[in-house]
Amino acid sequence: MSLADLRNDYGRLTLDERDLDPDPIRQFDRWFAEALAADVAEANAMTLATASPEGRPSARIVLLRGCDARGFSFFTNHDSRKGRELDANPHAALVFYWRELERQVRVEGTVVLVPADESDAYFRSRPFGSRVGAWASAQSQVLSSREALESQFRAIEAKYSSGEVPRPVNWGGYCVVPETIEFWQGRPSRLHDRLRYRKISEGGWTVERLNP
């Protein structure tokens, strides 16, 4: 089978302007709840795209850890590639893909740091091994060997054997403050529904239908 033969013709659902919530965050919450109800695996997994100051893009999968009126939040090492790029160029794009519902959500906006107390609270909620791993890994840096990483993990694990692991100062949350949010619903013959919210004022949005 060739790559040209790998295609699906979508047709499960539709998306109409009359069905949209005026607030895109509430609309996202509705779709996210439907993704959970449909047993979408890791429905909070999203592609995060960042770019260097020179415009060179990079993308990876991260997990959504918060969604409220401010925007979409995730947590990571600030010294990682994405952290360094966001520090120099605080703009990002997110994509959620829920295959079971033939849906995508695309978000574009500016990025701000999550308050330290929120980063502290989320870090404390993580499993012990994940908290140790945040200390053990110099994320995105060249690593001499797997053994070196595991040795560092064991050393940190022993240091914090009491279970109380403080949050590293270079680890915390980011919030993508949306400027546009697009809801994409697969339709037959590639005539997909694409409805985009575009911010026009503080708290104000306009909805536009896009060609598929």
Catalytic residue IDs:
190
CA dist 69 to 26, 46, 115, 171, 202, Å? 9, 18, 15, 23, 11
Residues 6+ apart with CB under 8 A from 89: 50, 51, 52, 53
> Whole-angstrom Cα distance, residue 36 to residue 133?
28
Q: Tokens for 177?
A: 């403050």
Torsion-angle region of residue 208: left (phi > 0), alpha (psi -120 to 50) or beta?
beta
DSSP 3-state of 17? helix
Asked whether 46 and 60 are in contact (CB, 8 A), the reply is no
Q: Which amino acid is at 158?
A: A
Helix (H), strand (E) at residue 154: helix 146-159
